[in-house]
Homo-oligomer: A and B are copies of this chain.
Amino acid sequence: MTVDSPNLENLRQSHTLSLQAVQVARLYYEQGLTTNDIALELKLSRPKVSRLLSHARKSGLVEIRIHDPEGEAMGLEARLQARYPFLQAQVVSVPLGSSESVWIERTATAAANLLTTLLRPGFRVGLAWGNTMSAVSRVLVPKAVADVIFVQLNGSANAADFVSGFVTETILRFARNFSAKAQMFPVPTFFDDPVTKQAMWRERSVRHVLELQEHADILMYSVGSHTAHTPSHVYTAGYLSPSDLSVLSDEGTVGDIATVFFRADGSHQGLSLNARASGPDLGLMQRVKESICVVSGLGKAAALHAALQGQLMHRLIVDEVTAQAVLELDLEGV
């Protein structure tokens, strides 16, 4: 690919665009001028100033972060944290009578924001994949952070991803957004034979990925559930045979994180399918410094409740309605 002069020209222009945008943003946010004043000062039209401002916000030139006094929380947050003392919860409110797709959108936005806040140079971030993570990837606001690696937590090497690029695209969006590297995990989501998995796990290339996962600074994932309104990919994409699914029921699984299953009490040891799953041991979620669980949708309430019993996260981002449902499950259970 050669760089011809028009492209160079575009590049220069996009630079001056950003420069102008920064200049305008400074005058607007730091000096507190109105768009009109700025237009006069820089001899631009007022609409142009307005457009530069939106550009600055959308492209991450201005970053707006909200410092939550993490001590006292309101309502649902407080109740969640009282019930699960290890947990740092953020409950996102949703409009009355809105659809679950709106909930996901809002929850994803909150999650994207939290990740941007927590991310520091040199961090390794483990990512699961699925509908929720995909939603998060689509609402990220660009910001360059040095030496970050995003590493895929569980395999996706199978037809479903290769046709749609669903998984690959999700993780690449994260990486691109932060000018970071992406480490894919090119193994099957589930192995047919646990022995093959063990063999693969001895391979250098795989061990490299596992190493990155083990030393991750942040993990981000959702919980999966077969009862979700929009069922998790893992249940719909044909990864599992009908007999697998019946085994899941028999063994009392209520959900999964990164395609590793757990029971209603949050335990995951001894579940037969996990020996064939490509996701990490769920103890990892406790070992790492930050593990962010993003959950939205009433159908996921039971799975989330189970994950909470198992302390499978440090932080939780959940929509109001689902949070309510989880707390009610708590009352029933006791």
Contacts and interface: CB of A to CB of B under 8 A. Distances in A.
A66 B31 contact: no
Contacts of A143: 67
A117 B69 contact: yes
Contact of A67 (B27, B61, B66, B95): B61
Contacts of A41: 93, 95-96
A9 interface: no
B71 A61 contact: no
Contacts of A65: 62-65
- In the complex, the count of this chain's copies comes to 2
B64 A122 contact: no
Interface in A63-79: 63-74, 78
Interface string A201-234: 0000000000000000000000000000000000
Interface residues of A, number: 57
Contacts of A121: 71-72, 78, 81-82
Contacts of A96: 41
A35 to B, nearest CB: 15
Contact of A31 (B63, B109, B116): B109
A98 to B, nearest CB: 10
Interface stretch (A17-25, A242-250, A273-281, A324-332): A17-25
A69 B23 contact: no
Interface string A88-123: 100011011000000000100110010011011110
Contact of A69 (B22, B26, B93): B22
A72 to B, nearest CB: 6
B61 A66 contact: yes
A64 B63 contact: yes
Interface in A3-49: 15-16, 18-20, 22-23, 25-27, 29-31, 37, 40-42
A64 B66 contact: no
A119 B29 CA distance: 19
A70 B109 contact: no
A115 B96 CA distance: 31
A146 interface: yes
A67 B63 contact: yes
A62 B29 CA distance: 12
A310 interface: no
A147 B71 CA distance: 13
A61 B71 CA distance: 12
B109 A68 contact: no
Contacts of A106: 31
Contact of A68 (B22, B27, B92): B22
